Amino acid sequence: MTTLIESNEHKSLREAVAAFAKTHPHTTNAEDNTRLWQAAAKLGYIGVNLPEAYGGGGAGITELSLVLEELGAAGNPLLMMIVSPAICGTVIARFGTEEQKREWLPPLADGTRLMAFGITEPDAGSNSHRITTTARRDAATGDWSLTGRKVFVSGVDLADATLIVGRTETVSTKEGRTGNLKPCLFIVPRDTPGFERRPIDMELNAVERQFELTLDDVRLPADALVGDEDAGLLQLFAGLNPERVMTAAFGIGMGRYALAKAVEYARERTVWKTPIGAHQAIAHPLAQAHIDLELARLMMQKAAHLYDAGDDVGAGEAANMAKYAAGEACVKAVDQAVHTLGGNGLTREFGLARLITASRVARIAPVSREMILNYVSHQTLGLPKSY
Ligand SMILES: Cc1cc2nc3c(=O)[nH]c(=O)nc-3n(C[C@H](O)[C@H](O)[C@H](O)COP(=O)(O)OP(=O)(O)OC[C@H]3O[C@@H](n4cnc5c(N)ncnc54)[C@H](O)[C@@H]3O)c2cc1C
């Protein structure tokens, strides 16, 4: 039984990543962030989930999420790990052609290339069935033309290509706009003509920026399509479930980082006779935050194990629940950590205030708290839908 008690192998990996992460202080600029990414990749951490035959570690999302959690716990939650190895690497490894695997997996694993992922659209938002980015195939050449808009796509400037979710034109316009999504995935290299990006001014204080994308008749070769254009949602969720597990790891790592800072402070800071950590009004919320993070991690591990065992359906529910639990635990841990430091909680020196916005990412993306509650209401509890 490996799901409840961490194996010795996983404990060793956790310790090794934690030791590595300690030697890399919190990165505040793109250059240091890239250096950290490449050093982690060299040690096999970034591609730990990718197949060994293509330069990866041959492990799974269990191990990849462990890596992200430990990096985050040391103050460096590498956001692009959620996207590049977890979504794009997984989708290419599972559904890509031999050429696509050979072209992309080794450099994604060794850190020389990065891939972003774009599904969110301004007029669709949480309702991804409404996406309208459309792929048209040239009957003569088999090449594709992609037209549409995306928003909030992370790291497009850092990434060599973006995996764009579109829909084929064969779906009639009426069905296309209101019916069930039949997605297809395209690799769009960063400098392809017609593929424009505009950074969004976020209050995030993070190295990775978000972009609004315009695709205006972007011409792509036939082999830009990843997987089968008819396989639809199955292929997409092969990438989206790991994304949810990884966002849970992002939240748990960040929550642990904030909590550790608060505990350290509460042990020392004395304004009456005892350190403030002796007051239960300070200690109990920190203890609760710890419990919530541990519980979220258990659910994350369950989701990761189900996914790695090939149970895509079981992993779907668990990954949603894990993302929910981790998002909530992260937001609460950061909130309480900031409060524990009093005025220092809002200084740049202590570095916690910036996490107030960063922690909210785990609640909003890639699927919001409410959409997960909707999913559990309908799918798990069988309640009727309001929308
Ligand atoms: C930092 C960051 C990074 C991101 N990176 C990426 C990326 O790399 N690639 C990408 O494709 N996207 C990315 N996103 C986008 C993210 O996935 C979306 O923001 C998210 O899916 C929510 O969509 P929305 O922002 O359009 O909100 P909306 O869908 O407009 O929702 C707004 C609010 O309404 C609520 N709501 C909506 N529908 C319902 C309903 N039926 N019932 C109850 N409540 C509802 C939501 O929960 C939310 O609180 C990123 C976002 C952020 C903030």
Q: pLDDT tens-digit profile of 205-252?
A: 899 999 999 999 999 999 999 998 877 788 888 899 999 999 999 999
The predicted model scores a pTM of 0.96
Q: pLDDT tens-digit profile of 35-72?
A: 999 999 999 999 999 999 999 999 999 999 999 999 99
> In this predicted structure, what is the pLDDT of residue 237?
86
C-beta of 365 in contact with ligand 1 (< 6 A): yes
Contacts of 355 (CB under 8 A, 6+ apart): 254, 257, 258, 334, 337, 338
Q: Which atom of ligand 1 is nearest to the CA of 83?
A: 8
> In this predicted structure, what is the pLDDT of residue 2?
54
The rounded Å distance from CA 370 to ligand 1 centre is 10
Q: Which atom of ligand 1 is nearest to the CA of 128?
A: 21
C-beta of 90 in contact with ligand 1 (< 6 A): no
Domains along the chain with CATH numbers: 8-114 (1.10.540.10), 116-226 (2.40.110.10), 233-380 (1.20.140.10)
> In this predicted structure, what is the pLDDT of residue 179?
52
- The tally of CA atoms less than 13 A away on the side-chain side of residue 364 is 8
Q: Which atom of ligand 1 is nearest to the CA of 360?
A: 53
> In this predicted structure, what is the pLDDT of residue 182?
78
Give the pLDDT band of residue 180 (cuts 50, 70, 90).
low
The rounded Å distance from CA 152 to ligand 1 centre is 9
> In this predicted structure, what is the pLDDT of residue 167?
92
Q: pLDDT tens-digit profile of 26-38?
A: 788 889 999 999 9
What is the C-alpha to C-alpha distance for residues 260 and 242, in angstroms, rounded to an integer? 27
Q: Return mean pLDDT, the chain.
A: 94
> In this predicted structure, what is the pLDDT of residue 26?
77
Q: Is the pLDDT of residue 174 over 70?
A: no
Q: How far apart are the first and last CA of the chain?
A: 40
Q: Whose CA is nearest to atom 45 of ligand 1?
A: 370
C-beta of 152 in contact with ligand 1 (< 6 A): yes
C-beta of 133 in contact with ligand 1 (< 6 A): no
C-beta of 368 in contact with ligand 1 (< 6 A): yes
Q: Whose CA is nearest to atom 14 of ligand 1?
A: 152
Peptide bond into 366 cis (omega under 30): yes
Mean pLDDT over 86-100 rounds to 97
C-beta of 115 in contact with ligand 1 (< 6 A): no
